[in-house]
Amino acid sequence: MSYANAQERYAQLGVDTEDAIQRAVATPVSAHCWQADDVVGLEVHEGATDSGGLAATGNYPGRARTGDEIRADFETAAGMIPGTLRFNLHAMYAETGGKSVDRDELQPEHFATWIDWCEDRGWGMDFNPTCFAHPKAADGLTLAHPRKSIRDFWVRHCIACREIGGAVAKRLGPCVVNIWVPDGQKDATADLIGSRRLLLKSLDSVLEKRVPKVVDTVESKLFGIGVEDSTVGSHEFYLLYAASRGCGLCFDMGHYHPTENIADKVSAALLFLKPLLIHASRGVRWDSDHVTRFNDDLRAVADAVIRSGMTQHVYWATDFFDASINRVAAWVIGLRSVRKALLWALLEPHASAVEAERAGDGTAKLALAELRAELPFAAVWQELCRRADVPTGLAWLDEVRRYEQQVLIARD
């Protein structure tokens, strides 16, 4: 079906496809850097490190090994992703000129190349403390560590990251700084409330000083490898922390029970706290961080955000890592799926569904919900891609294959 015919079909249901395309393209989506290198980072350090319960599986050729390679890979991916982009960086991607700089000593200068790069391309930039993969996180505890000296180290690291976020914001506009820690216990937790008191105190110290244009968010998780019995920073802990402290809350799609979808949480949370940060991810049986797909879960989250009418208070980012497939393709598939979900939600005949619901007409409401599957969404998506000058269908895969043969294979 042509776009003109699709536009007419949607218009019959009161949906403006032009407005939907414009809003879908204008919504920033923050692309995570760690897909490029399997969450290895660029640090110069000594000593054993702990993964924090993260695991990138696979050994597909072409893993990025330097900041330049990460940047080149994402530039290639970005040419196939429609819409407004941001770039999301972890502290472990500091470029220190070959010097060993511990995490509590990081400065904006260690991320100057990243900031310049984003500025040159018109992208915003977001930032994250890296509270894992470090000798002082070897026992799986950081901000809730019983030893004060280690807790203080991680507090200093998070404060440094907020200052780095502030430097980013001065150049590129508001910077989301999201705090996630792996803290928890493997078995038979004895003093969980004690650990949570420590995390509460540490977070208060980290967030004590306001940093202009830094958007602070905190992120929960159900469990991680090695901390199966309890997680200090649970959903309830961070929900209440964010509501009481006035910071933002991150909903990671993979950080809940496999049968639990965050879509239902969006409308509840937005009534009490702002902003929300959505980490688009895909858990398969657990928080496996599979590449995001245009599936029911993602569509439900996009629906919840768009229906809320509070999109200005919601930030979107991706968070997955798959080392078993072409990593550039992983970015393209994952980020296109998020943009696709936003367009899908914006094309919903929502006003008609609300009208039916308020009139008590469940029959019409259910019929409208089913009708969405029959509407010519693909034609509108292809038009969005055409206007953004990115490939449609599988045409982008040819570009990825060329880059793989010309660049990625040579790395191995």
**Beta strand spans in 221-332 (E):** 230-231, 248-252, 276-280, 314-318
Residue 255 catalytic? yes
With vertex at residue 143, the alpha carbon angle to CA 142 and CA 145, rounded to the nearest 5 degrees, is: 60
Per-residue model confidence (pLDDT) at position 254:
94
Active site residue 180: yes
SS3 317: strand
pLDDT in tens, 346-362: 999 999 999 999 999 99
* CA neighbor of 105 nearest in space, from 116, 89, 94: 94
Closest alpha carbon to 351 in 4, 12, 13, 9: 13
Catalytic residue among 50, 73, 95, 219: 219
Tell me 215's DSSP state: E
State the CATH number of the domain containing residue 293: 3.20.20.150
Distance CA 337, CA 84 (A): 14
**Active-site residue 221, yes or no?**
yes
Residue pLDDT, tens place only, 192-239: 999 999 999 999 999 999 999 999 999 999 988 899 999 999 999 999
Catalytic-role residue among 110, 136, 255, 365: 255
Q: CB of 93 within 8 A of CB of 70?
A: yes
- Find the domain containing 266 and state its range: 3-411
Q: Compute the distance between CA of residue 306 and CA of residue 165 in angstroms, rounded to an integer.
A: 28
How many domains is the chain built from? 1
pLDDT confidence tier of residue 48, bands split at 50, 70 and 90: very low
Regarding beta strands 124-128 and 85-90, do their DSSP bridges make them parallel or antiparallel, or are they unpaired? parallel
**Average pLDDT of the segment spanning 277-295:** 94
The catalytically annotated residue of 32, 235, 265, 279 is: 279
Residue 177's closest CA among 131, 117, 243? 131
The reply to whether 319 belongs to the active site is yes
Residues β-bridged to residue 126: 88
Q: Which of 45-54, 57-66, 205-214, 370-379 has the lowest mean pLDDT?
A: 45-54
Catalytic residue among 117, 180, 381, 396: 180
Q: Tell me the H-state helices in 81-147.
A: 112-121
Query: pTM of the entire structure?
Result: 0.96
CA torsion through residues 299, 290, 242, 193, sign: positive
Q: Is residue 90 annotated as part of the catalytic site, yes or no? A: no
Is 109 annotated as catalytic?
Answer: no
Q: Which two tokens stand for residue 162?
A: 């907020």
Q: Which of the following is catalytic: 73, 183, 303, 319?
A: 319
